[in-house]
Amino acid sequence: MKFVEIFATAATVASVVAAPTTKRASKFQFVGVNESGAEFGNTALPGQFGKDYTWPDQNAINTMISKGMNSFRVPIMMERFIPSKMTGTVNETYASGLDTIVKFITGKGAYAIIDPHNFGRYYSNIITDVDGFGAWWSTMAKRYASNDKVIFDTNNEFHDEDNTLVANLNQKAIDAIRAAGATSQYIFVEGNSWTGAWHWTSSGTADGMGKLTDPSNKVVYEMHQYLDSDGSGTSTACVSSTIGKERLQAATAWLKANGKKGILGETAGGSNSQCITALQGMLGYMAENSDVWTGWLWWGAGPLRFAYSELHLSD
């Protein structure tokens, strides 16, 4: 659920969308962008660096930090970090690239969000091995347990799965991360049905997700929301100038009723006046409800984004 390169860029949203909410920006804990690249070429595994995938550009991240962004979601492939089986050993070639970008982001005082961009799949198969999923996360968490600026994002956009399975995978990830000694970091959990805010409750994913527990009490519910007719982010047209706020209302009510915190982990709209108005309205609504909304992340940025967005190799 991504959009092709006909949308406003992250730089545009930083200067156009964020500007009207300057007075309210301090209400958000996390404001940033998705830095694509390391998840690209996902049919080529493990893939070749510089051809199939790359790592985010450090100069671009510096630019975003200078515009006030403090959170960078780094999509990766589970199969590249630990090939063959989730209980296996780390591919240090790929992992060293992740180490470098995480160290750079967190060294700047920003948050690095590690996002296995797998849609609840491993080698294209729905992940049903809950213990194996926990083992994968244990290995990852041990690597960054001492860095409290790292955030663990359980998995990108589970979809077309059993809601109970998705909840169980999320709980296993939480348990594994904490057991690995990573007790100070935030964990972003994602639900079923593409973790869409607009059907967070109607899809039934909220039922199991609402029962998640964390001894560190640092779970944040990550939802995604695009503003085109089917919520996929594949069209430049937004439904209306108020659709952003409207699509968050049910999820906001759920967060409040259940004492949860949320983040909009992906959002975007076309580079046109109706979409910009809709985005401004949505972010303004979130600021008004910052007791439950911790922030938002724009999709997307990254040095290979232009070529791959047209080819749909990763999306």
Contact 123, 74 (CB under 8 A): no
- pLDDT average, residue stretch 289-315: 65
Q: What pLDDT, in 10s, does the model give residues 170-190? A: 999 999 999 999 999 999 999
Residue 79 annotated to the active site: no
Question: How many Å apart are CA 69 and CA 71, to the nearest integer?
Answer: 6
Average pLDDT, the chain: 89
- How sure is the predictor about 235, in pLDDT bands with cuts at 50, 70 and 90? confident
Among 39, 79, 157, 161, the one annotated catalytic: 157
Whether the predicted pLDDT of 54 surpasses 90? yes
| pLDDT for the residue 42 | 87
- What is the pTM for the complete model shown? 0.91
Active site residue 157: yes
Q: Lowest-confidence range among 2-11, 220-229, 232-241, 300-309?
A: 2-11
Report how far apart the first and last C-alpha atoms of the chain are (Å, whole number).
7
